[in-house]
Structure 1
């Protein structure tokens, strides 16, 4: 047993801890009721796509918060890195809860129960990618998991955070960029900001592990990474066409998915493999993780500062000098 020691020189772990704290948020901060008029104005096909992408994201965030971050952290020796991973795991649960916050406002509870309880579990492409990712996580249930197993779990995590989530992010960003469903779009933006640093941090851990592998181990994980990427990509294309086909956006979403698959590979220190054509500039604008000046979304922007280091109220604060 040993205790975490934060009394060390600042490094990238400290930076990521501070960034996670700075980005902390909860779904109650966003009044989704302001989206009701926009929701009612969507076509039935558009509402179906919106509901399904959010349901799929809920399932994947549940996996990431319940298995991914906790199991990877068990095999990381540095207690500070484990602390950052634990915080990120908690944020994944907030992400999952935030989708229910949207559902609660916009659709009947019985429909929410169907989407999350039946549709998610019955969507073959969604369950396939979740199963593939979970297989790598569950290898870490063994206390003597090999370093290559930990590395591949990190690869799976980065693919989920930086690649597979984004087919679901596309549509909320697409609508919000047109001034529709803007409050829900703000929630997606906050989630996207979180995922952007999650993918980078876990990718850095993966690179550190990979550097310590033997030549043969590196060759094996490189081959396995290529195979996993190709398999997940093929499944994601099929999932995208099934979800977005009826509203004519599937081809653009695939280009967006390819773009983010390259980002995932870069997070892992690997070369990009796709050469995607440009995708919707509306969605590309939504990928910008810099501060928004309320010109893209109409609600709470991304650059707000939390009130930290607040002095507690004391009895003396209520003693006033009388004239």
Structure 2
């Protein structure tokens, strides 16, 4: 039976365990008497079961005796019990940044449930390096390789996000930091959804990358550093940006007049070996092997491997 209240009157829930506050489970498991008396009633949750405790009058003495100051105190302090309506519990609120009076809403479906359904563990593969080091190429090859295995991933690309979410940000140090902060929060949500989130960003400042790492549980942030020399990246220059930077037409370009801070303790380093540049499929293989070893992907059972990924993409991103 659904729980109803008179028009303009809400139902109040009071679990014996305060941890049930705001949790959908406390409502989903609620049961009420089918008697007509339960309509328009105030309910108290005991042990996850909603029980009728009193008829909810449109007007009662306790409400009449509650002063306007009491009501203001309830609104401003969000106290756990109301002086106006004894037994009503308000969920605890908090302030984060400029957001006030906010409450974290828990849901019945958890990250582990989504991971079990997908057959993988959610995480963030953060690819960092100079412009033209091959970040976007690796991200797309890895995304394709995962799809070929029946696994769900999504690529967050630096330029792509600047077309929308971050189109109000420039390339000053402050804007770069905010750009990465936003991306870190989005990547965290993808990982919580059980996806393998592949973030491809120059992300030149170490502290910004480390801040993103701190958003996730230990081990769920996998930093991949494409250690390609500036001379190689500049020689590639697929977008002509290095030429513009050298000509002074682009200011604050990473590697030219703005620094790139190498990772100190990244999980994977890709670099040129004796002048040989690894192919996109080889780089994807390396990341997938790491994901398997760390338990984010189940070991593949058949003979197919990532070498089947299309590699007709120049290593430029």
Shorter-chain TM band: under 0.3
More helix by share: 1
The structure carrying a bigger strand percent of its residues is 2
**TM-score normalised per structure 2:** 0.26
